[in-house]
Amino acid sequence: MVSKEKCAICSEKIQFRYNPMDEWGIEGSICGNCYSKKINEHYPGEHVRVNKHLD
């Protein structure tokens, strides 16, 4: 189901909703792009995505 919400960071329409981690201090849902950026900011290094076949 496609969400009609807007991202709390970039205000783009959310296709798939992500909940920010508490330590990020963000209220509301965020989009996948912003979630990925925040993960990289807070957890630097190389991240390997799993279950890419579900995209």
Q: What is the pLDDT of residues 5-51, one digit of tens each?
A: 899 999 999 999 999 999 999 999 999 999 989 988 887 777 676 66
Amino acid (one-letter) located at 48: V
Per-residue pLDDT at 22: 93
Per-residue pLDDT at 4: 76
Residue of 35, 36, 34, 28 lying closest to 8 (CA atoms): 28
Tokens for 36, please give them.
Answer: 């990925």
Ordered by start, the domain boundaries in the chain are: 1-55
Tokens for 37, please give them.
Answer: 């950026």
Amino acid (one-letter) located at 33: N
